[in-house]
């Protein structure tokens, strides 16, 4: 029990340290808020034009569609949809061989980086998520959760989204053990992240089979699902199904990550001689 409590304190410290680390980049955060707001504004008008033409498209009314835009901007860095999380650092450590040092530490590699990424995501949500959302709410008529329970339901979906996002990017980073250069995989992950998360366009606007395919992929857990929970599109058993989908993908991807990590670690030992 004592060991377990100690472990928990260790990972909590990693999370907090990561939060603080991102909090030091004040100017970059302010610049990011500005950029998210500008993009939110541009997208909001294109969505308005789209929903003007087709009211009720994808099951959203105009206000919900606008809210979706600002949620996308708020969650863009939280979910690291275009990359920019821990994975660059981990890839660099694998490439240079510093990873060998990490593997000797009495901490689990996967949990360590998860703790760090949760700290990063928490800062991004507070630092870069709130201001664009408030700006959007002031300029447009947004659909907000009606009560505290609605906000809580969204927060749970967002946290699960962060874990799925982490699990995907952990796999991306581990690929560096085999490829040595993570640039290609990182770029593919970024493409998939922006397209299949619903960042470019809500997945329920995608036509036919493409939409069904996109909604079944893990990336839909990052933006589309938290957004639908926020917009009150999923409640009761639908909400539970959403969580189950997110937890299912998180568990599957984290397990694959663990297996790959085991294979990769053996490889490092062999390489290191």
Partner 1 sequence: MSPLREGLRAYRLISAMWIRSLMAYRLSFAMTALGNFAVTAFDFVAILLMFSQVDRLGGYSLAEIAFLYGASCTAFGLADVALGSMDRLGRRVRDGTLDTLLVRPAPVLAQVAADRFGLHRVGRLAQGTLVLAYALVVLDIDWTPLKVLMVPLMLLCGAGIFAAVFVGGAAFQFVAQDAAEVQNAFTYGGTTLLQYPPTVFAKDLVRGVTFVLPLAFVNWLPALYVLGRPYPLDLPSWVAFTPPLVAAALLALAGVVWRAGLRSYRSTGS
Where do contacts with partner 1 occur on this chain (CB under 8 A)? 25-28, 30-32, 34-35, 38-39, 41-42, 45-46, 48-50, 53-54, 57, 181, 183-184, 187-188, 190-191, 194-195, 200-201, 205-207
Q: How far is the CB of 53 from partner 1 (least distance, A)?
A: 4
Q: Which residues contact 85 (CB under 8 A, 6 or more apart)?
A: 117, 120, 121, 165, 166, 169
Instruction: Please state, in angstroms and rounded to a whole number, the distance separating the CA atoms of residues 244 and 242.
Output: 5
Nearest residue (CB) to partner 1, 4 versus 26: 26
Q: How far is the CB of 121 from partner 1 (least distance, A)?
A: 18
Q: How far is the CB of 28 from partner 1 (least distance, A)?
A: 4
Q: How far is the CB of 91 from partner 1 (least distance, A)?
A: 15
Nearest residue (CB) to partner 1, 59 versus 248: 59
Q: How far is the CB of 42 from partner 1 (least distance, A)?
A: 5
Instruction: Please state, in angstroms and rounded to a whole number, the distance separating the CA atoms of residues 261 and 109.
Output: 9
- Listed as own residue / partner, the contacts of 80-83 with beta carbons closer than 8 Å and 24 or more positions apart are 80/117, 80/120, 80/121, 80/165, 80/169, 80/193, 81/165, 81/190, 81/193, 81/194, 81/197, 81/199, 81/222, 81/223, 82/190, 82/193, 82/194, 83/169, 83/186, 83/189, 83/190, 83/193
Nearest residue (CB) to partner 1, 53 versus 147: 53
Helix (H, G, I), strand (E, B) or coil at 258: helix
Nearest residue (CB) to partner 1, 46 versus 235: 46
Nearest residue (CB) to partner 1, 42 versus 238: 42
Q: How far is the CB of 85 from partner 1 (least distance, A)?
A: 16
Phi, psi of 9 (to 5 degrees): -65, -40
Nearest residue (CB) to partner 1, 52 versus 147: 52
Nearest residue (CB) to partner 1, 183 versus 251: 183
Instruction: Please state, in angstroms and rounded to a whole number, the distance separating the CA atoms of residues 82 and 92.
Output: 18
Instruction: Please state, in angstroms and rounded to a whole number, the distance separating the CA atoms of residues 109 and 80.
Output: 20
Q: Which residues contact 128 (CB under 8 A, 6 or more apart)?
A: 29, 32, 33, 36, 74, 76, 77, 78
Q: How far is the CB of 183 from partner 1 (least distance, A)?
A: 7
């Amino acid at each position: 029990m004592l060991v377990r409590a100690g472990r928990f304190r260790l990972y909590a410290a990693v999370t907090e340290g990561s939060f603080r680390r991102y909090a030091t980049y004040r100017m970059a955060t302010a610049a990011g808020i500005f950029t998210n707001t500008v993009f939110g504004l541009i997208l909001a008008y294109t969505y308005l034009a789209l929903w003007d033409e087709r009211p009720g498209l994808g099951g959203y009314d105009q206000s919900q569609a606008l809210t979706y835009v600002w949620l996308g901007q708020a969650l863009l860095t939280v979910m690291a949809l275009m990359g920019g999380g821990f994975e660059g650092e981990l890839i660099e450590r694998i490439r240079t061989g510093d990873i060998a040092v990490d593997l000797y530490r009495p901490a689990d590699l996967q949990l360590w980086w998860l703790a760090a990424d949760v700290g990063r995501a928490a800062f991004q949500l507070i630092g870069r998520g709130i201001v664009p959302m408030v700006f959007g709410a002031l300029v447009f008529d947004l659909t907000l959760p009606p009560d505290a329970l609605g906000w809580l339901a969204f927060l749970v979906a967002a946290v699960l989204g962060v874990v799925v996002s982490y699990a995907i990017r952990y796999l991306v980073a581990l690929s560096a053990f085999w490829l040595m250069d993570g640039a290609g995989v990182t770029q593919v992950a970024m493409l998939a992240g922006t397209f299949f998360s619903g960042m470019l366009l809500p997945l329920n606007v995608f036509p036919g089979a493409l939409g069904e395919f996109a909604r079944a992929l893990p990336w839909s857990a990052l933006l589309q699902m938290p957004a639908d929970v926020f917009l009150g599109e999923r409640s009761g058993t639908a909400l539970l199904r959403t969580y189950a989908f997110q937890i299912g993908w998180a568990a599957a991807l984290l397990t694959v990550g663990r297996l790959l990590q085991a294979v990769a670690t053996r490889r490092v030992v062999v390489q290191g001689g």
